Structure 1
Amino acid sequence: MSVASLRRAARESVSGLPREFWWLWTSSLINRIGAFVATFLALYLTVERGYSASYAGLVAALHGLGGVVSSLGAGVMTDRLGRRPTLMIAQVSTALSVALLGFMTDPMAIAAVAFLVGMASNASRPAVQAMMADIVKPEDRVRAFSLNYWAINLGFAISSAAAGFIAEYSYLAGFLGEAALTLACAVLVFVKVAETRPVRDTSAGAKAEPEVGLGTVLRDRRFMGVVGLSFLIALIFMQAHVGLPVAMGEAGFSAADFGLAIAVNGVLIVVLQIPVTRFIEHRDPRKLLIISAVVAGYGFGLTAFAGSIAVYALTVCVWTLAEIVNAPTQTGLVVRLSPVHGRGRYQGMYTLSWSAAALVAPLMSGFVIDRLGADWLWGVCAVLGTGAALGYWLLMRSLPEEESEGEALVPSPSSPVASNPVASKEVSA
């Protein structure tokens, strides 16, 4: 492929998306560049503070539990209070709690603040995803979510490399650096991103949309099925960070060996996410989800046959391809199944599936590896992938065609969206 062709492909990948999306994209990139706690919390507690591995695991679980608790609450806030205020509250709270965690020395205080960090950091996700759904046209959403996912992984790759050097100098500097960058994201959103929450059309003759509550979400059997399948997929992908390092350690590989193998994941996502998205952008999401579930399950299943770094890296390549396809496709499906005025609650429930998986995955991998051995864990992953693929096939058989949006929405005269031609034209979903 020529340089001109590459330039044209890159231009087509990023063209046509509203300016507000790119400010959110920039916020995601900065936020992930500043990610320190999620990456180095266990090392901080065991190496810097001298606590046991069991205590570090408990704190990590409390951090995950905070995310579970905040998922639904943040979804409700996103719909009631608005996307922008919820995002601002979440990011400012994250900055303050992360900075506070760096100064905690008492075990109980560390655990409590870690729980707060988990709550605050997870609370921004429903708002960001709902806001992107508001401002991006339906036909561009898979591409938009893919670009955002690419930014998250690029930021994480930069963060992982930089944070290691920062930790050598000072763990406190890492906490304060994350707090500063998260606060910068809040300022960026406040200055550059207007509220995008759709306003109901109350004019005569307008088609009334029923009120959406958490009960509405729970009664939506198709959507809750997608949430359940998302939980299974998340359990599989979580093993990259909980089961794989333990299994490689038991097989005699070092932490550096694991780092080398897992680095393939980040590199592939950064290199392939955009071109793969161009390939799948207008393809049937049902087939993509089924295929990605099978490839994810059996990609991890192949780990049972790995005996060298090269083979471990090869298995990472396989399930990373599934991740690249599944992440934007599944997020786009969630938006497609969500009513316009209930996006926050629906995104909150979807976020809950990943938060719950973050709690269950370490327990599952530990139990299976200790009782049965690592090979059984990879077999379980293959079974979960097969079950998820079957579930997608059953749920998606009668998936309705995506409808044109925006006809039932009007901008509020008092809302910033009203003066924003892009937002007012594309707040539908």
Structure 2
Amino acid sequence: MTTYGTQTLAAAPAADRPVRPRLDLPQLVWALAATQFVSRAGSLVRSFLVLYLTQDRHFSLATAGAVVAAVGVGDVGSQLLGGWLGDRIGRRHTMLVGFSGTAVALVGLGAADTVPAICAAAFGVGLMSELHRPAASAAVADLPAPQRVRAFGLLFWAANLGFSVATVTAGNLAQTGYGPLFWINITAAITAALIVWRRVPETRPPTAEHTRRALLPVLLRDRPMIAMAGIHIVYFTLFLQTFTTLPLLMSTDGHGPATYGAVLALNGLTIVAAQPLAVRLLTGRDRTTVLAVSMLLVGAGVGLSTIVHGGAGYAGSVLVWTLGQIGVAVMFGATFADLAPADLRGGYMGVASTTFSIGAVFGPLTGAFLLDHAGPSTLGTAGVIIGLALFAGLLALGPTIRRRTSAQ
């Protein structure tokens, strides 16, 4: 008998049984997944920040918008800073700083009285709350390549499960006041920090200080990485605009918030149910091909949402782009991890995470502008064309990515 960790397998001659890579995940990944779930399940304040500012603090909508924008600016900086710190002080220390800093920033946000102080605290929340993400991604990128797809898939699934819990919890608690949202969010951040402190070891490869390279010069010479980052900025802009335009489209057709909530819930339920299966089906497949097909599905889903009118039709469009979302999420981290040099994994994963943050800024603006000034047909046509362009771009980039991966 041959034993691998907790699994016991019968030995067999090499000629009778092909050797397969070990794919069971180490405890590090499960600990990181626990931090993803806890932090997302307790991340209640950001979802209800506008309502808290306008209803509880009685600020104008413009002021509330400025505060939310401050969180978004901090979020973009958080991705880059988290990646840089992950390469400098280590993945573990960066996550500890991020989760601890989030708790402190939330206390400051709840206690701030003036608009400048609230904006500063909101920026701090954005800067700290996502600091852990590129560091955790770098820790997964430090694993052997065959484990990365499953590991990133588990983190994505845990985060979405936590998000599903957060949406239900926050909605119920907000009816009794916004104070509990802050304390639960703070407790979740501290709990995530404790998990990192007790269960997450440092994984950063040892690098001599005099040989450490700066990120920017390497990145500017890395054309495949720049191309992949640009593709993902366009993709996230396309994908994230759906959360702005879909409720507007449904409202125009006479559907109320309850119908929109039920349709959107389909997204979370599909991810929780189908994503583990998607990881099993897609592991070992060509990364760029999966990404190409997935982004094409998102474009098709956007186009479909502009030509349907009934609740079932909208649910179908959400299902289409959710399947594409799952495919991208399964391959996203592993693709950028394959591109990252060992000594700059934190920085590369920070740049990768920033593509989402940039899309989160441009997506709502672009989608709302097209829908308001050009109408649903133009929005849908643009979605399909962008999906096709992303599909073609990834297929063209595929050979370069495969050669790069093979060389590494």
Q: Given residue 152 of structure 1, which amino acid in structure 2 is its aligned partner? A: A
Q: Give the structure 2 partner of residue 415 of structure 1.
A: none
Q: Give the structure 2 partner of residue 274 of structure 1.
A: 276
Structure 1 residue 31 and structure 2 residue 33: aligned? no
SS of 2:243's equivalent in the other structure is: coil
Cα distance in 1 for partners of 2:282, 2:118 equals 44
Q: Give the structure 1 partner of residue 158 of structure 2.
A: 151
Contact 2:241-2:365 at 8 Å conserved across structures: no
CA shift, 1:238, in A, is 0.7
Q: Please give the per-residue CA displacement for 1:63-93, whole angstroms capped at 9, x wherever unaligned.
A: 1111112322221111011111111111111
Cα distance in 2 for partners of 1:116, 1:63 equals 7
SS of 1:282's equivalent in the other structure is: coil
Among 336, 339, 346, the residue aligned to 1:344: 346
Contact 1:102-1:176 at 8 Å conserved across structures: no
Structure 1 residue 253 and structure 2 residue 251: aligned? no
Show structure 1 runs of 5+ residues with no match: 1-13, 203-207, 406-429
CA shift, 1:404, in A, is 9.2
SS of 1:398's equivalent in the other structure is: helix
Contact 2:82-2:132 at 8 Å conserved across structures: yes
Task: Report matched runs for 1:353-364 at 5 Å.
Answer: 353-364=355-366
Cα 1:15–1:337 change in 2 (3 A) is: closer
Q: Give the structure 1 partner of residue 205 of structure 2.
A: 198
Cα distance in 2 for partners of 1:306, 1:376 equals 14
Q: Give the structure 1 partner of residue 180 of structure 2.
A: 173
Cα distance in 2 for partners of 1:240, 1:47 equals 26
Cα 1:309–1:103 change in 2 (3 A) is: farther
Q: Given residue 37 of structure 1, which amino acid in structure 2 is its aligned partner? A: V
Q: Please give the per-residue CA displacement for 1:300-320, whole angstroms capped at 9, x wherever unaligned.
A: 110011211111111000000
* Equivalent residue pairs, number: 386
Structure 1 residue 386 and structure 2 residue 394: aligned? no
Q: Please give the per-residue CA displacement for 1:330-352, whole angstroms capped at 9, x wherever unaligned.
A: 21110000001100110111111
CA shift, 1:389, in A, is 1.4
TM-score by length of 2: 0.89
CA shift, 1:176, in A, is 1.4
Structure 1 residue 184 and structure 2 residue 191: aligned? yes
TM-score by length of 1: 0.85
CA shift, 1:383, in A, is 2.2
Cα 1:401–1:72 change in 2 (3 A) is: closer
Cα distance in 2 for partners of 1:78, 1:15 equals 25
Cα 1:47–1:210 change in 2 (3 A) is: closer
Cα distance in 2 for partners of 1:107, 1:376 equals 39
Cα distance in 2 for partners of 1:180, 1:404 equals 45
Contact 1:214-1:345 at 8 Å conserved across structures: no
Contact 2:239-2:363 at 8 Å conserved across structures: no
Contact 1:63-1:114 at 8 Å conserved across structures: yes
Cα 1:46–1:312 change in 2 (3 A) is: farther
Q: Give the structure 2 partner of residue 410 of structure 1.
A: none
CA shift, 1:44, in A, is 2.1
SS of 2:242's equivalent in the other structure is: coil
Cα distance in 1 for partners of 2:139, 2:94 equals 11
Cα distance in 2 for partners of 1:215, 1:253 equals 51
Cα distance in 2 for partners of 1:383, 1:104 equals 46
Contact 2:241-2:366 at 8 Å conserved across structures: no
Structure 1 residue 81 and structure 2 residue 103: aligned? no
CA shift, 1:105, in A, is 4.0
Cα 1:238–1:340 change in 2 (3 A) is: same
Show structure 2 runs of 5+ residues with no match: 1-21
Cα distance in 2 for partners of 1:201, 1:70 equals 26
Cα distance in 2 for partners of 1:69, 1:148 equals 22
Contact 2:278-2:330 at 8 Å conserved across structures: no
CA shift, 1:254, in A, is 1.6
Deviates more, 1:25-34 or 1:240-249: 240-249
Cα distance in 2 for partners of 1:172, 1:241 equals 27
SS of 2:206's equivalent in the other structure is: coil
Contact 1:212-1:341 at 8 Å conserved across structures: no
Query: Aligned-residue CA RMSD in angstroms?
Result: 2.1
Q: Given residue 38 of structure 1, which amino acid in structure 2 is its aligned partner? A: R
Cα 1:50–1:201 change in 2 (3 A) is: closer
CA shift, 1:148, in A, is 0.9
